[in-house]
Structure 1
């Protein structure tokens, strides 16, 4: 699967599970892609703002993520990083429960669902598991999230059946030619 170049930025309206907005900026780094973004939302009556900086290598494997969450009366920050082969550290401490993950999935971000789609390069009809380092937006808890992607026949957009069994969630995700989410049912819609 060959994707068109990324735009310099993208934005998403968050709806359904939360009400908010996300903006991400993309630039080439020394060894891949640097993504800087911010997402703000109200979710279950709680407000939060998440700032993130992701380093992604040329094979679309996440190498590091710096995440700062702001909440009423509190601010938290974490760093997750990997050797690129699926061995992770959270704030400098090895987290063996995350071993084997190649992607980060920020609950606050629609963008991070682009990472496995780019990395896997699935042909129509192909499927793959894509476990991810999952960072919860409400408290920056880091856990493993098992996910599954199956590429569907394209219509007006690239489409993937997506499953996250832990959340009992299944949806068809739509992506643009650059491999960025256009529609994530119940969560976000591309705004630009």
Structure 2
């Protein structure tokens, strides 16, 4: 459904925060490794979040190491998934994440790539996509209920309606041919 990933991509964050995100994609045995960093200012605070994520060939998150640096110090969290919806957070079982197949970083526009690749939805189809949601500031890991619905194609672009009821948030996400977000209203736009 999607073309090959580029070696790198970048987003300008705007709306809820001002910042920039750069990501590098590397094919690995049975999946992809994604390394990136977002630096931003939000509500008068600055932070930097670096991530190293491995997804399997079905685009399910297998590991995610996330490190945040802010004025309150440096934190790191390690998430590990078995591919069947069970997670460890810093080597401890996390049953509140049971059924989640994706990691979603509050700091990242890129992590919205995972559910659309994994689900490979035809136009008109929708899917729930609960995720292990990692907060930017304190790296707290929560369950995030969200849904993607494929609405249309615009030339090489694919459109999905996205909703996260806990945030009372919904929008139309536009993806490029490689399945990377191009337009994330109120959050980010693709820069490279």
Alpha-carbon distance in 2 for matches of 1:73, 1:152: 42
Alpha-carbon distance in 2 for matches of 1:44, 1:86: 34
Alpha-carbon distance in 1 for matches of 2:99, 2:32: 21
Deviation sequence 1:19-45 (CA, Å, 0-9, x none): 000000000112210000000000111
Aligned twin of 2:166: 166
Alpha-carbon distance in 2 for matches of 1:141, 1:45: 20
Aligned twin of 1:142: 141
Alpha-carbon distance in 2 for matches of 1:168, 1:45: 23
Flag structure 2 segments of 5+ consecutive residues without an equivalent: none
Alpha-carbon distance in 2 for matches of 1:79, 1:34: 15
Aligned pair 1:108/2:114, yes or no? no
Aligned pair 1:60/2:59, yes or no? yes
Alpha-carbon distance in 2 for matches of 1:25, 1:153: 28
RMSD: 0.7
Using the TM superposition, give the Cα deviation of residue 139 of structure 1 relative to its aligned residue in structure 2, in angstroms. Answer: 1.1
Aligned pair 1:26/2:31, yes or no? no
Q: TM (normalized to structure 2)?
A: 0.98
Alpha-carbon distance in 2 for matches of 1:165, 1:73: 30
Runs of 4 or more, structure 1, over 4 Å off, are none
Alpha-carbon distance in 1 for matches of 2:148, 2:127: 6
Q: TM (normalized to structure 1)?
A: 0.98
SS in 1 for 2:112: helix
Using the TM superposition, give the Cα deviation of residue 3 of structure 1 relative to its aligned residue in structure 2, in angstroms. Answer: 0.5
Aligned pair 1:12/2:11, yes or no? yes
Alpha-carbon distance in 2 for matches of 1:153, 1:92: 41
SS in 1 for 2:139: coil
Aligned pair 1:43/2:42, yes or no? yes
Flag the 1:139–1:73 CA change in 2: closer, same or farther, 3 A: closer
Count the aligned residue pairs: 191
Using the TM superposition, give the Cα deviation of residue 73 of structure 1 relative to its aligned residue in structure 2, in angstroms. Answer: 4.1
